Amino acid sequence: MSTIQNGITSTLGRTFRSLRVRNYRLYFFSQAISQSGTWMQSVAQGWLVLHLTGSALLLSATVALQFGPVLVVGPIGGLLADRVDKRKLLIATQTMMTVLAGVLGVLTLTGAVRVWMILVLAALYGVTNGLDNPARQAFASEMVGEDDVVNAVSLNSVIVNASRVVGPAIAGILIVTVGLAACFLTNAVSYLFVIAALVVMRSAELHRTRPLPRKGGQLRAGFAYVWRTPELRVPLTIMVVVGTLGYNFSILLPLMSKVAFHRGGGTYGGLLTAMGVGAFAGGLYAASRVQPSRRLLVVSTLGLGAITVVAALMPTLVWEIAMLVPLGAFSVLFITTTNSLLQLNSKPAMRGRVMSLWAVVFLGTTPFGSLMIGGLADVFGPRTAFAVGGAATFLAGIGAYVALRRRRWPIGAAGPKPLPQVRLPDDPEPDEAIGDLEAARLYDGRAPAAALQPQPRA
């Protein structure tokens, strides 16, 4: 019995080790509240658009406007994250999100809300999120350090997906008993917890990187760095496909509830909750791992695609809910593995820009994907659109496997050991590496002589 207890204690300690850090503890629990509020707003906003218009295309347009600005603003947000104090930037963006949620709540409460207002507020949220997301992703390593960044990223996913259970459940209750406005106003209040946590953090305990000096060509240098670094390029390429076609649950789940199963907002919340249960379990599994691997990246992509296709074909609501549990698990495994591989394989001076590209390909592709999937759902029904996204994700997983095998990288490895490397023209620290020369040889079949030359400035 003691051996079993010791094993359980060891596993729990490994899974939640980042919570030993005070700053991360504050962030973790404040995010647990805020993310629940975000999911409440997501459920209420989708249902509000459907209630006012009944159009899948307008619902898709709302999602597109909410995430579209990330395509333009995301790289700027990544550069800001490398240049300024990430904590102060997050305080500013979280304050703006508080205001936007509050305005939508008041408009809904007074009955003045119109579809164009929702679209405008969604676009403003997208701009703010484009500035917030890269800093928030890169801030994890500043709170816990390099050794525990994978664990922190995984626990962040646990927060997001646990809130999928709590947020929609509360939203369903509030929508039925109080009304949609309560969801938006509660979300506005939830952001205040994050702002308070950021304010009271101990600055001396943060693992800060030296701010990037302001110079020309830094955005271009960030793009070049990612393109020359295969361990960054491959995960981002997979994310383009999955983000565009496979990750449109905010559109498809309300349509499955309303069109496929002829149910209301409570059923939509139930579908999100089922997916959140699986995602919570997947996040805990990812947090218990010491390092992500390419094998996990391939497996999670293939699993996400296959389960999505199966979920699209489920004939009854009970079976649909049952399939959304493993779908949630594979979705969070995919996101966490991709995020962790990017953070571990990018140097600190570039991390903000690298994570901005993660946000661009994951969130910024949503407008195109949402319009495509929404259009398919309008013409052929939500089941067909659901299945198309799953098939595209599965094919991306096959492509990732083939690419890794061709380049002779062990599928189970986290990444090749870095070799001495050259420096970008705008690097603040001369001893930092630009990319792995040996990895580039394996990927391109030749010595990357171009990487040794000074890079042109934008």
Task: Work out the pLDDT band at 392, boundaries 50, 70, 90.
Answer: very high
Distance CA 331, CA 153 (A): 14
Coil vs helix vs strand at 10: helix
Q: What is the mean pLDDT of residues 231-245?
A: 84
Q: What is the mean pLDDT of residues 46-60?
A: 83
CA 264 to chain CA centroid, nearest Å: 27
- Positive or negative, the CA dihedral 275, 279, 281, 282 is positive
Q: Pick the residue with more confidence: 145 or 176? A: 176
Exposure class string for 155-172: b at 16+ Cβ within 10 A, else e: bbbbbbbbbbbbbbbbbb
Distance CA 248, CA 255 (A): 11
Q: Pick the residue with more confidence: 426 or 314? A: 314
pLDDT for 189 = 96
Rank 195-204, 346-355, 449-458 by mean pLDDT and report only the highest: 195-204
Round the average pLDDT of the chain to a whole number and report it.
78
Distance CA 10, CA 2 (A): 12
Distance CA 251, CA 372 (A): 11
Q: Which two tokens stand for residue 432?
A: 């930092």
Q: Which two tokens stand for residue 34?
A: 């805020």
pLDDT for 250 = 75
- Let me know: does 41 contact 175? Beta carbons within 8 Å: no
Distance CA 65, CA 131 (A): 15
**Structure pTM?**
0.66
Rank 316-330, 338-352, 405-419, 427-441 by mean pLDDT and report only the highest: 316-330
Side-chain half-sphere of 107: how many Cα atoms within 13 Å? 17
pLDDT for 425 = 42
DSSP 441: H
Instruction: Output the CA torsion 157→160→166→168 (10° steps).
Output: -130
CATH 2.40.128.720 fits 15-201+214-406, yes or no: no
Per-residue pLDDT tens digits for 88-109 = 999 999 999 999 999 999 999 9
Per-residue pLDDT tens digits for 255-307 = 888 888 888 767 877 887 788 788 778 877 777 765 667 788 888 899 999 99
Distance CA 363, CA 129 (A): 10
DSSP 84: S
Task: Work out the pLDDT band at 420, boundaries 50, 70, 90.
Answer: very low
Long-range CB contact pairs, 29-32, < 8 A, 24+? 29/197, 30/193, 30/194, 30/196, 30/197, 31/156, 31/159, 31/194, 32/159, 32/162, 32/163
From the list 256, 252, 193, 239, the residue with the least C-alpha distance to 38 is 193
Quickly tell me which residue has 């104090």 as its tokens.
85
Task: Work out the pLDDT band at 412, boundaries 50, 70, 90.
Answer: very low
Distance CA 308, CA 456 (A): 44
Domain positions in the chain: 15-201+214-406
The mean-pLDDT minimum among 154-168, 393-407, 420-434 falls in 420-434
Burial of 45 (0-12, 13-18, 19+ CB in 10 A): buried
Burial of 213 (0-12, 13-18, 19+ CB in 10 A): exposed
Distance CA 276, CA 445 (A): 43
CA 364 to chain CA centroid, nearest Å: 11
Exposure class string for 109-131: b at 16+ Cβ within 10 A, else e: beeebeeeebbebbbbbbbbbbb
Which H/E stretch holds residue 281?
Answer: helix 265-288
From the CB of residue 357, how many other CB atoms can be counted at a distance below 10 Å?
25
Distance of CA 15 to CAs 35, 57, 64, 339, Å?
20, 41, 35, 17
Per-residue pLDDT tens digits for 137-169 = 888 878 887 777 778 877 877 777 677 667 877
From the list 274, 305, 320, 452, the residue with the least C-alpha distance to 392 is 305
- Positive or negative, the CA dihedral 450, 452, 454, 458 is positive
CA 266 to chain CA centroid, nearest Å: 25
